């Protein structure tokens, strides 16, 4: 306790030198909390949006379906299985039929996926109800990325070409009845959404689907022959892996920042021990053991981290809360990279993040403070009290 | 006199009607004229892209419709690329990667070197007589040549194009134009054949223009510089070993 009191007095007495160290440490702490908060916020938003727009609570894939290999689409459709018929009729799961095709906006050819969905489904938030409109051409909906890449807008009519399951070419005009805005490129880029029954007719694949998206309240333990169940965690694997990579990537910067901050603490400690030899000698002469003096200097150094946490608590908290309220606007085009990312990301600061980061900085500071303080244990008290350089 | 002329015209018309070949006969005559045991040709493919025009030169060896081997000669980027087709299978050798790749499945739908043709179009071994019902639906002048218009409706569902129309020269029995339609009746592709030249005992088009009708642009021209028919070709050339 005496060591803590003494350490605090010594630190405050050092004035600007202490506060500079504290500010540097506080800056590092702030940067780590803010950046990890952004990544956690992004992860949370991506999980929420992907669940709402794309993956639902899991999916059933036709056994040949591989979303990374479009060449499998030709064989990856089958009749809706009996086991899923009731859930489909109850609207708990929604079937999706997928086919490859080409779109010809303004005479340019572009490959795309045709995705059939039930207009009245409520499993995902895709505005499929827009497909219910009466139109001379086939009504379709597309995302804003697809609209941008094809230079299409609501009301435009364009030609699409596809093959039915026999391989015969067909083509027709479609009308863009809705351009929807969503943060999940997987339901937007390079695809158009169409009434599933229309697509089944176009493909001559009546009553067939490529996959099912599972909604809330779906419970089924039996396996469905010819269909593979993919749970939510599996469907989010790619996103979670990417977030892990981002965190690892970001940590390199913090290692450098931490090194700089720790260098400052280390230098301060070395300077203190060098300049305060008489004081060290006096402590020992007055009965303190070498270990107690080492502890005093270590605590003094580590107290920089405690002051930094208090500093962040007073000045950083309002700033972090303000940043959480305004979010971080992502640069234009970020969402074209194929990952779920909102225009603005709102950071999320969990207790684990704040406590963990503060503890990490404290422990590192403690170690860095202890290393130069070890020299005290080798000092001769008589020489120290005379101020002799050792 | 007038009566005589009328009688002659009517009789002539009836005779011509009687002589009108059926769609099937026209297709058989085209086959007879165009088919050969083997061909060796050098050709140019001129691809009219949105920004530039590319010319690709090639030499090809072929036996019937089943076997063909093509070596690309120019431009430098494509030089050395070789393509081997054996019935329904296609392999490509790329000197850049020094690898032989089999083109199959949906890869066949990819564009052939950026042209309006897909690998599949090139592979098209469609047996018109077997897969389609042919009906003569009229006649029309193309490049001042009188042509039959033959409409082909697919007999089965397993064909690329449900409807085809072919304009066939009434005298030379050579197609001068072909249109390929979607099931919905939408025109998808048009092929125009011109520069019809007498080679030996047959007429042959030395210029073919392929056009994807849904796409903007001037299509892809295929110009045959030289062609020889029924020459002996070493069987070795139609093996994968000849690709490298």
Query: What confidence tens digit (pLDDT) does each residue in A4-22 have?
Result: 777 777 777 777 878 888 8
CB contact under 8 A, A167 and B158: yes
Distance of CA B8 to the CA centre of its chain: 40
Whether B11 shows a pLDDT value over 80: the answer reads no
Residue with tokens 């379906």: A65
Residue A2 is predicted with a pLDDT of: 63
Coil, strand or helix: which one is B89? strand
Of B12, B33, B6, give the one whose Cα is nearest residue B171.
Answer: B33
CB contact under 8 A, B157 and A166: yes
Q: What is the mean pLDDT of residues B123-132?
A: 76
Residue B55 is predicted with a pLDDT of: 92
Average of per-residue pLDDT values in chain B: 84
Return the axis-axis angle of helices A317-326 and A16-50, rounded to nearest 10°. Answer: 30
Chain A partners within 8 Å of B185 (Cβ):
none
Cα–Cα distances (Å) from A358 to A144, A309, B117, B220, in that order, read 42, 7, 64, 67
In this complex, how many residue pairs, one in chain A and one in chain B, have their CB atoms less than 8 Å apart? 64
Q: What is the mean pLDDT of residues A233-244?
A: 87
Using 50, 70 and 90 to split pLDDT, how confident is the model at B125?
A: low
Whether A221 shows a pLDDT value over 70: the answer reads no
ipTM over cut 0.85: no
- Which helix (H) or strand (E) segment holds residue A157: the answer is strand A157-163
Whether A247 shows a pLDDT value over 90: the answer reads no
DSSP string, B201-230: TEEEEEEEEEEETTS-S--EEEEEEEEEES
Residue A387 is predicted with a pLDDT of: 66
DSSP string, A334-353: GGGGSS---SEE-----HHH
Of chain A, the percentage scoring pLDDT greater than 90 comes to 27
**Extents of the domains making up chain A:** 2-52+238-386, 64-225
Q: Whole-structure pTM over 0.90, yes or no?
A: no
Task: Tell whether B51 is within 8 A of chain A (Cβ).
Answer: no
C-alpha to C-alpha distance for A234 and B34, rounded to whole angstroms = 57
Specify the pairing of strand A138-143 against strand A169-180: parallel
- Comparing A106-115, A324-333, B131-140, B159-168, the range with the smallest average pLDDT is A324-333
Residue A225's Cβ-count burial label (10 Å; 0-12, 13-18, 19+) is: exposed
Whether B151 shows a pLDDT value over 60: the answer reads yes
Of chain A, the percentage scoring pLDDT greater than 70 comes to 94
Do B135 and B100 meet the contact criterion of CB atoms below 8 Å apart?
no
C-alpha to C-alpha distance for A305 and B45, rounded to whole angstroms = 73
C-alpha to C-alpha distance for B231 and B60, rounded to whole angstroms = 13
Residue with tokens 């062609």: B227
C-alpha to C-alpha distance for A161 and A112, rounded to whole angstroms = 10
Of A90, A98, A318, A34, give the one whose Cα is nearest residue A215.
Answer: A90
Domains and CATH numbers, chain B: 23-243 (2.50.20.10)
Average of per-residue pLDDT values in chain A: 86
Task: Tell whether B131 is within 8 A of chain A (Cβ).
Answer: no
> Facing residues of B193 across strands?
B208
Q: What is the mean pLDDT of residues A335-354?
A: 77
Strands (E), chain B: 38-48, 53-63, 67-74, 82-86, 89-94, 99-103, 132-142, 145-154, 163-169, 175-181, 187-199, 202-212, 220-229
Q: Which of A113, A168, A201, A203 to mutate against chain B (most B CBs within 10 Å)?
A: A168
- Comparing A7-21, A111-125, B37-51, the range with the smallest average pLDDT is A7-21
Residue with tokens 């702030």: A30
Q: What is the mean pLDDT of residues A67-78?
A: 84
Residue B69 is predicted with a pLDDT of: 92
Residue B8 is predicted with a pLDDT of: 39
Closest to A171 (Cβ–Cβ): which among B105, B154, B188? Answer: B188
Using 50, 70 and 90 to split pLDDT, how confident is the model at B18?
A: very low
Closest to A169 (Cβ–Cβ): which among B158, B188, B215? Answer: B188
DSSP string, B156-195: SS-SS-SEEEEEEETTT--EEEEEEE-TTS-EEEEEEEEE
Using 50, 70 and 90 to split pLDDT, how confident is the model at A293?
A: confident
Count of residues in chain B: 244
Q: What is the mean pLDDT of residues B106-111?
A: 70
> Facing residues of B228 across strands?
B40
- Quickly count: other Cβ atoms within 10 Å of residue B193's Cβ: 21
Of B243, B227, B186, B26, give the one whose Cα is nearest residue A172.
Answer: B186
Greatest mean pLDDT among A79-88, B7-16, B98-107 lies in A79-88
Give the residue on B whose Cα is nearest the Cα of A166.
Answer: B158
Do A324 and A167 meet the contact criterion of CB atoms below 8 Å apart?
no
Number of H helices, E strands in chain B: 4, 13
Terminal CA-CA length for chain A? 29
Specify the pairing of strand B67-74 against strand A93-104: unpaired
Whether A339 shows a pLDDT value over 90: the answer reads no
CB contact under 8 A, B157 and A74: no
CB contact under 8 A, A166 and B158: yes
Which of residues B59 and A390 earns the better pLDDT score? B59
Residue B145 is predicted with a pLDDT of: 92
C-alpha to C-alpha distance for A282 and A291, rounded to whole angstroms = 14
Do A80 and A159 meet the contact criterion of CB atoms below 8 Å apart?
no
Do B181 and B162 meet the contact criterion of CB atoms below 8 Å apart?
yes
C-alpha to C-alpha distance for B242 and B93, rounded to whole angstroms = 10
Which of residues A336 and A35 earns the better pLDDT score? A35
- Comparing A380-384, B65-69, B216-220, the range with the smallest average pLDDT is A380-384
Please list the helix, strand and coil fractions of chain A in percent, rounded to the nearest 5, in that order.
55, 20, 25
Residue A285 is predicted with a pLDDT of: 79
Residue A203 is predicted with a pLDDT of: 93
C-alpha to C-alpha distance for B118 and B104, rounded to whole angstroms = 12
Which of residues A87 and B113 earns the better pLDDT score? A87
Please enumerate in sequence order all residues whose Cβ is within 8 A of that of A272, keeping only pairs 6 or more positions apart, or say none. Answer: A14, A297, A300
Q: What is the mean pLDDT of residues B145-158?
A: 91
Q: What is the mean pLDDT of residues B10-26?
A: 62
Closest to B216 (Cβ–Cβ): which among A108, A166, A172? Answer: A108
Q: Which of A171, A198, A202 to mutate against chain B (most B CBs within 10 Å)?
A: A171
Count of residues in chain A: 390
A254 Rama class: left (phi>0) / alpha (psi -120 to 50) / beta: alpha
CB contact under 8 A, B182 and A100: no
Whether B15 shows a pLDDT value over 80: the answer reads no
CB contact under 8 A, B188 and A100: no
Q: At A159, list the tokens.
A: 């030609």
Q: At A190, list the tokens.
A: 């390079």
Q: What is the mean pLDDT of residues A361-377?
A: 83
């Amino acid at each position: 306790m005496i060591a803590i009191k003494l350490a605090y007095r010594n630190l405050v007495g050092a004035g600007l030198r202490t506060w500079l160290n504290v500010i540097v440490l506080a800056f590092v702490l702030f940067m780590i909390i803010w950046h990890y908060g952004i990544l956690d916020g992004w992860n949370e938003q991506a999980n929420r949006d992907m669940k709402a727009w794309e993956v639902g609570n899991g999916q059933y894939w036709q056994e040949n379906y591989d979303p990374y290999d479009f060449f499998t689409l030709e064989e990856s459709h089958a009749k809706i299985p009996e086991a899923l018929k009731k859930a489909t009729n109850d609207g708990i799961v929604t079937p999706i039929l997928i086919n490859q095709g080409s779109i010809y906006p303004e005479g340019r050819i572009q490959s795309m996926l045709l995705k059939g969905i039930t207009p009245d489904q409520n499993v995902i938030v895709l505005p499929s109800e827009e497909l219910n409109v009466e139109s001379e051409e086939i009504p379709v909906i597309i995302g804003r990325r697809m609209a941008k890449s094809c230079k299409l807008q609501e009301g435009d009519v364009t030609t699409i070409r596809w093959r039915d399951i026999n391989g015969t070419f067909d083509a027709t005009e479609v009308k863009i009845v809705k351009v929807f805005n969503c943060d999940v490129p997987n339901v937007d880029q390079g695809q158009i959404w169409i009434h599933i029954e229309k697509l089944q007719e176009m493909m001559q694949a009546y009553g067939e689907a490529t996959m099912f998206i599972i909604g809330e309240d779906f419970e089924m333990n039996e396996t469905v022959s010819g269909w593979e169940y993919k749970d939510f965690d599996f469907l989010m694997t790619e996103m979670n892996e990417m977030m892990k990579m981002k965190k690892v990537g970001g940590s390199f910067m913090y290692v450098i920042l931490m090194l700089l901050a720790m260098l400052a603490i280390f230098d301060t400690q070395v300077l203190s021990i060098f300049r305060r030899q008489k004081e060290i000698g006096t402590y020992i002469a007055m009965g303190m053991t070498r270990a107690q003096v080492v502890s005093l200097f270590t605590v003094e150094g580590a107290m920089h981290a405690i002051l930094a946490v208090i500093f962040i608590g007073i000045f950083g908290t309002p700033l972090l809360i303000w940043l959480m309220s305004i979010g971080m606007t992502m640069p234009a085009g970020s969402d074209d990279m194929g990952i779920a990312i909102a225009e603005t990301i709102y950071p999320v600061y969990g207790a684990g993040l704040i406590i963990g980061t503060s503890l990490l900085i404290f422990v590192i500071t403690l170690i860095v403070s202890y290393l130069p303080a070890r020299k005290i244990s080798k000092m001769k008290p008589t020489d120290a009290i005379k101020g002799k350089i050792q | 006199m007038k009566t005589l002329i009328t009688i002659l015209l009517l009789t002539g018309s009836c005779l011509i009607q009687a002589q009108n070949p059926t769609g099937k006969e026209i297709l058989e005559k085209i086959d007879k004229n165009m088919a050969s045991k083997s061909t060796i040709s050098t050709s140019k493919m001129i691809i009219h892209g949105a920004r530039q025009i590319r010319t690709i030169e090639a030499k090809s060896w072929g036996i019937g419709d089943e076997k063909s081997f093509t070596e690309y000669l120019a431009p430098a980027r494509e030089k050395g690329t070789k393509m081997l087709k054996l019935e329904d299978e296609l392999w490509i050798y790329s000197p850049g990667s020094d690898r032989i790749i089999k083109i199959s499945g949906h890869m066949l739908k990819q564009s052939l070197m950026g042209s309006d043709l897909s690998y599949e179009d090139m592979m098209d071994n469609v047996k018109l007589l077997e897969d389609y019902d042919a009906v003569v639906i009229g006649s029309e002048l193309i490049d001042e040549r009188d042509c039959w218009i033959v409409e082909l409706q697919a007999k089965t569902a397993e064909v690329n194009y449900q409807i085809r129309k072919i304009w066939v020269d009434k005298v030379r029995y050579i197609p001068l134009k072909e249109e390929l339609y979607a099931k919905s009746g939408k025109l998808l592709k048009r092929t125009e054949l011109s520069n019809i030249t007498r080679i030996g005992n047959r007429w042959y088009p030395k210029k073919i223009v392929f056009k994807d009708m849904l796409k903007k642009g001037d299509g892809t021209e295929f110009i045959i510089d030289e062609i020889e028919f029924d020459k002996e070709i070493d069987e070795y050339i139609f093996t994968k070993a000849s690709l490298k």
